[in-house]
Structure 1
Amino acid sequence: MSTKSWVPGTQCIAKCDHAKPKAGELSYHKGDILTIVEAGLGKGVYLAQHNKTEEKGTVSASCLREREAIRVDPSLSLMPWFHGKISGPEAVLKLAPPEDGLFLVRESIRHPGDYVLCVSFQKEVIHYRVIYKDSKLTIDHAQYFYNLIDMIQSYMKEKGAIATTLQKPKQKEGTKSAAEELSKAGWLLDIEKLTLGESIGEGEFGAVFEGEYMGQKVAVKNIKCDVTAQAFLEETAVMTKLQHSNLVRLLGVILHDGLHIVTEFMAKGNLVNFLRSRGRSLINARQLLRFALDVCEGMEYLESRKFVHRDLAARNILVSSDNVAKVSDFGLAQVDPKSTDNAKLPVKWTAPEALKKEQKFTTRSDVWSYGVLLWETFSYGRQPYPKMTLKEVKEKVEKGYRMEAPEDCPPTVYALMRSCWENDPGKRPSFRKLREKLEKEHRSWEPTPGS
C-alpha cells in the first residue's frame, strides 16, 4: 500500500475510534471529520484539527480516509425510485419478482400532474394515486407532504395510509442513489444532530437558516422543491471539490424535507449590508482593500481549478466573525447553464460578451464582475451605475461608458477596476495578476498609528 500524502486543508474521515489518545494525539470517533493542518511529521503522521471540537493533535494516516469529492454525474439522483411516465402494467413488471415493500413512483398517465406510488405487498402490486393539491401531495387527504422525497421518507418510517412500510426502492435504470453516494463519500449529515434556528435570509430557491450541527454554528439552505433540489445536487457536488479559506465551506448535506445544504456560518452577513450598515466612520480603506484581496484569493483559486463563478457580486460575498470575506454561491449560477434567459442575468455585474446571445462566460467575464465588486466595496455598498436603468447600462457600456471612481477611492484601485473593464476579455488581468497588485498595494498602506 502506498503511503498517503495529504496537503494542509485536506478533509479526512476517521475509519475507527481513537478515544484514548496519548499526549499530543487527537481524540476522535469513527465517522468524525478532521482537517489536515500540517504534513510531514514523520511517516504517515499528520497534525490535524477536529472539525467539530476544533482541537488539534497528531493523527495516523492509517486511521483516516480522505473525504472524497463527489463526481458531478447526471445519473446521480435524489429520487432514484422515480420512473417518470410509465404505465401501471409496466410498473408491475419492474416490481417483479414480488417482494414486500419493494416500490417505485411513476407519473400518472390517466391523471396528468398526479403521481402513483406502486408498492409490492403479498405478491400483489398496489397502486396509490398521489394527488397534487394546494402545492402539496397526499394519498389519503389526512397526511400532506411538500414533495415526493418527503413522502417516501415518511412511508419508509411508518406505513400510514398504505399497506406496508416502504422497504426497498426499485431504482430506475441508469440512476445512482444520491443518498448512497453522499454517504459513501462522507458528505451526508444526520438530521438528528441538526438544530435549526431562525431564518437569516430568503434566497431565490428557499430559506436560509442559522443552526447548530454537533456543537458547531452553521448556515442551512433548505430547498423544498424536489426538481430544484435535484439541480442543487450539482452545486453540492461542485462544492465538495472546492476547498479554500476564502470560499464558504460546505460541511455536508441532509436529505430530509427536500435538501438541506449545510455550510459554515458567516456571522456578519453579506458584504453589501456589512458595508452599508457600518460606513466610512467604522471601516477604513485598508480594511476595504483586505476584503478585496480576500475575494481575489478565493477567485484565483477558482480560476486555477478552471471554474467560472458567473455571479460574482458583493451580495454573494459573506463576512465571517473575524472579518474574513469569502465567496459563496459558486455553484448556483451553473444550476441551469442551458437557460439563455437574459432576464435572470445580473446585468450590472455581467461582462458585455456574456450579455450577448452566445453568453460567453469565462474567468475573464468573472474578472469584469470583480471590477464591479471592487466599485461596490470602495463605495461602501452603493448600487453600481446609480440612477441608470438596466437598458441604459447595457447600451452605454457597449459604447464604452465606464463608472467614475467612488468618492475617496485610491487612484491605484480605480486603475485596477478600469483594467477589469477592458472591452477585450484578453486584455483583462487574471485573478493572479490582480492579487499580486492588490498585495503590493496592501503592503504600501502600512496602518498609521490609531487607525
Structure 2
Amino acid sequence: YSWTNLFLYFWAPSVKGLRIFLTFWAPGTQCVAKCDSRKAKPGELVYHKGDILTIVDTSTKKGFYIARHNSSAEEGLINSNNVREREALRVDPSLSLMPWFHGKISGQAAVGKLQPAEDGLFLVRESIRHPGDYVLCVSFSNEVFHYRVIYQDNKLTIDNKQYFYNLIDMIEFYSKNKGSLTTTLMKPRKKQGAKSAEQELSKTGWLLDITKLTLGENIGEGEFGAVYQGEYMGQMVAVKTIKCDVTAQAFMQETAVMTKLQHKNLVRLLGVILHKGLHIVTELMTKGNLVNFLRTRGRSVVNSAHLLRFALDVCEGMEYLESKKMVHRDLAARNVLISDESVAKVSDFGLAKVDSKELDKAKLPVKWTAPEALRKEKFSTKSDVWSYGVLLWEIFAYGRQPYPKMTLKEVKEKVEGGYRMEAPEDCPPNVYSIMKLCWEQEPRKRPGFSKLREKLEQELSRMSPNSSEGPPRFVQSALCFF
C-alpha cells in the first residue's frame, strides 16, 4: 500500500440511512491503545493504555487486525475500536516546551498577564533589571510574587537550596513541591500564540512515561548533551538527553520531523520524554555510526560488496525522504548508524526541513555541503545528492575524512573552481563514476536518489551475479569482529 489510512464509508441498510464509517489501516500503520486489554482471549494481544502497536495485517475476524506490540514484539489480534492511529506531529514554530515563558517583559506587564488573579497561576519572564536572569511570577491571594532565578555554577536556583538544570526542570519541581514559594505552581499562563509541546505530544501518542525508562551507559556526547543506552518497557533504546532549554526547543523541530517518517533505512523514533529537559528515544543502533564502524574494521573484514550494501541502504532511506519532499541538509557517514543486523540507517534530522529557507551558515558541514547551498543557501534534494556523493567517498575510503589535509576555506574555493576528490584506493570505477555524477556543478544535472539506487543495484548485481539481493550482510564467522 502507498497510503497509511483509507476511510471507506457507505449507507447502512437501515430505514434511517445511517452512514457508517469503517477504518482501514495498511500494514505498518502505528496505533496507540485507548484502553487496557489485560484479559485477552486466545490469539489476542495483551496491551495497556498508551502502548504503541503496529498493524501487521488484516484479519478474517470482523473489526480486528493482526498487530505487533512495539515493545514486546509479540503479535496477536487487536480490536480496531480499542486503538487510534498514531498521528504525526505538526512542524509548528509555535510548538513550545515552555509555553509559560514570555521572554523579556517587565514585572508590571507580568502582573497584567496574570489577571484575573488565580492561586498558582504563573509565568516565567526574562529579567529587564538583571539581563540574562529569569523571574518566576506567581499569583497567590490576589498578589503576584516575583522570584528572581539566579544562574549559579551552571545551574538555576531561587533560594540557594534547590538547584535545577534548566527552567523546565524548575517548573516541573515547583508544580509538585511548594518549596520556598508561597504556593505550588498550578496553572501556566501561556504566551499568546504558544502551543504546549507536552499536550501535543500526549495527544498524538508520542509522549512516553519516564517511570518506564531505565538509563544505562553513556554511548555518545555532543554539543547538545549526551546519548545513553537504555531500556523502555523491555526494549533496548537509545536516549538523546538535552538539558539546555534553548537547545531542547530547537530539537523539537527534529522530533516533529521524525514523527512523520517510517522507513527501514531511517532510525525510528519511539517517542519523547519531558523530564528535566527533553529526552528523544529511538531504536538502539548497537554498532554505532558508519564512520567508526568502518575505521575499526577495515578492509580485512568489510569488502566492497558490503560497502555497496551500506551505500544502497542509505540511498533507499534518502529516496524515501525525497518522496516526502524532505531535505536532510546534513547527510554524512557520521549521521548514518548501523543496526545489530548491520543495516545502515540515516539519522540526525536536526537540519532537515520541508523547505529551503534560512539556515545558520556557521553550522553548515562545509565538506559535505553543495556549492549552491554554501554560496546562496539553496537547499534541495539535489544538494542532498551532492552530500551523498561525499558520503559514498567516505564509505569506500573506510571512514577517512573527505578532502584530506585541506582547510575548509581551501575546500570551498577549490570545489567552486571545479576540483573533485580522487577515487579512494581500490574503489570500483563504476562507483567512482556515481560519485562524480553526484558532484555535477549544476544541481539539475545530478541524478535523483531513485536513479542512484538503480545504478547501485546494477553494480551490486555485477559483484554478486548469483543473487538479486546482493551479498549477505556479514557471515556469522565475521561477527566476532563487530
Normalization by structure 2: what TM-score?
A: 0.89
- Contact kept in structure 2, 1:246 and 1:325, CA below 8 Å: yes
More displaced 10-residue stretch of structure 1: 21-30 or 378-387 = 21-30
CA distance in 1, matches of 2:81, 2:97: 33
Question: Contact 1:100 / 1:167 at 8 angstroms: preserved in 2?
Answer: yes
> C-alpha distance in 1, partners of 2:38/2:359?
54
Provide the secondary structure at the position in 2 that maps to 1:12: strand
Q: What is the aligned counterpart of 1:291 among 310, 334, 346? A: 310
Opposite residue 440 of structure 1, the aligned amino acid is Q
Cα distance 1:342–1:142, how it changes in 2: closer, same or farther (>3 A)?
A: same
Distance 1:121 1:396 in 2: 65
2:359 equivalent to 1:352: no
Choose which of 441, 444, 450 in structure 1 pairs with 2:462: 444
1:109 aligns with 2:128: yes
Distance 1:345 1:69 in 2: 27
**Is the contact between residue 248 and residue 264 of structure 1 (CA under 8 Å) also seen in structure 2?**
yes
Measured after TM superposition, the shift of residue 111 of structure 1 is 1.9
CA drift of 1:333 comes to 5.1
Q: What is the match of residue 309 of structure 1?
A: 328
Q: TM-score, normalised by structure 1?
A: 0.95
Letter in 1 for 2:399: G
Instruction: Provide the residue aligned with 1:135 in structure 2.
Output: 154
Distance 1:393 1:87 in 2: 48
Q: Deviation of residue 40 (structure 1)?
A: 6.4
Query: Equivalent residue of 1:129, what SS?
Result: strand
Alignment partner of 1:420 is 2:438:
yes
| Aligned equivalents of 2:354, 2:323: Cα separation in 1 | 21
Deviation by residue 1:281-333 (Cα, 9 ceiling, x = unmatched): 11121111111111001000000000000010000000000101000012335
Name which of 49, 58, 63 aligns with 1:30: 49
Q: 1:135 to 1:164 in 2, by over 3 A?
A: same
Q: In 2, distance between residues paired with 1:121 and 1:407?
A: 72
Change (3 A) 1:342 1:170: closer
After TM superposition, the structure 1 stretch with the greater mean CA deviation from structure 2, 221-230 or 38-47, is: 38-47
SS at match of 2:259: helix
- Partner of 1:155 in structure 2? 174
> Does the CA-based 8 Å contact 2:356-2:380 persist in structure 1?
no
State how far apart, in whole Å, the 1-side matches of 2:439 and 2:456 are: 17
Structure 1 equivalent of residue 451 of structure 2:
433
- Aligned match of 2:212 in 188, 193, 199? 193
Alignment deviations for residues 48-86 of structure 1 (CA, whole Å, 9 cap, x no partner): 110010011222322210111111111111111112222
- Alpha-carbon distance in structure 2 between the residues aligned to 1:138 and 1:248: 37
Offset from partner CA, 1:163-204 (integer Å, 9 cap, x none): 111111111221111111111111111111111112111112
C-alpha separation between the residues in 1 aligned to 2:210 and 2:447?
44
Task: Tell me which moved more, 332-341 or 92-101.
Answer: 332-341
Contact 1:7 1:38 in 2 (8 A): yes
Q: Could you say which residue in structure 2 is the equivalent of 1:387?
A: 405
- Cα distance in structure 2, aligned partners of 1:255 and 1:242: 21
Equivalence for 1:278: 297
Aligned equivalent of 2:106: 87
Verify the 8 A CA contact 2:57 2:67 in the aligned structure 1.
yes
| Post-superposition CA distance 1:138-161 (Å, at most 9, x none) | 111111112111110010111111
Amino acid at match of 1:75: S
Correspondence 1:44-443 to 2 at 5 A: 44-332=63-351, 341-356=360-375, 358-443=376-461
| 3-state SS of 2:263 partner | coil
Compute the displacement of 1:338 (Å): 6.6
Task: Please state how far the C-alpha of 1:445 moved relative to its aligned partner.
Answer: 2.4
Q: Is the 8 A contact 1:291 1:325 kept in 2?
A: yes
CA distance in 2, matches of 1:210, 1:336: 33
Provide the rounded CA distance (Å) in 1 between the counterparts of 2:362 and 2:175: 41
**Compared CA separation, residues 224 and 335, structure 1 to 2 (3 A):** farther
Q: 49-58 vs 329-338, which deviates more?
A: 329-338
Aligned mates of 1:242, 1:397 — CA distance in 2? 33
Per-residue CA deviations over 1:102-133 (Å, capped at 9, x if unaligned) read 11111222222222111122222211111222
Q: Is the 8 A contact 2:326 2:354 kept in 1?
A: no
Aligned 8 A contact 2:240 2:280 in 1? yes
Q: Using the alignment, how far apart are the partners of 2:353 and 2:245 within structure 1? A: 17
Report the aligned-residue RMSD.
2.1
TM-superposed CA distance for 1:405, in Å, is: 1.6
Which ranges of structure 2 fall in alignment gaps of 5 or more residues?
1-19, 476-482
Give the CA deviation at 1:43.
4.7
- 2:101 counterpart letter in structure 1: F
Give the partner amino acid of 1:154: F
* Aligned residues of 2:356 and 2:379 also touching (Cα < 8 A): no
Give the total of aligned pairs.
450
Letter of the 1:119 counterpart:
V
What is the deviation of 1:374?
Answer: 0.8
Structure 1 alignment gaps of length 5 or more: none
Tell whether the 8 Å contact from 1:231 to 1:335 is kept in structure 2 after alignment. Answer: no
SS at match of 1:157: coil
Amino acid paired to 1:363: T
Give, in whole Å, the separation in 2 of the partners of 1:331 and 1:197. 24
1:32: how far off? 0.7
CA contact (8 A) 1:41 1:47 kept: no
- Residue type matched to 1:364 in 2? K
Of the structure 1 ranges 22-31 and 315-324, higher mean CA displacement relative to structure 2 is found in 22-31
SS at structure 1 position matched to 2:55: strand
Is the CA contact 1:234–1:335 (under 8 Å) kept in the aligned structure 2? Answer: no
- How far apart are 1:392 and its partner, in Å? 2.1
Is the contact between residue 14 and residue 30 of structure 1 (CA under 8 Å) also seen in structure 2?
Answer: yes
Partners in 2 of 1:105 and 1:427 — Cα distance? 52
Instruction: Tell whether the 8 Å contact from 2:228 to 2:238 is kept in structure 1 after alignment.
Output: yes
Question: More displaced, 434-443 or 139-148?
Answer: 434-443
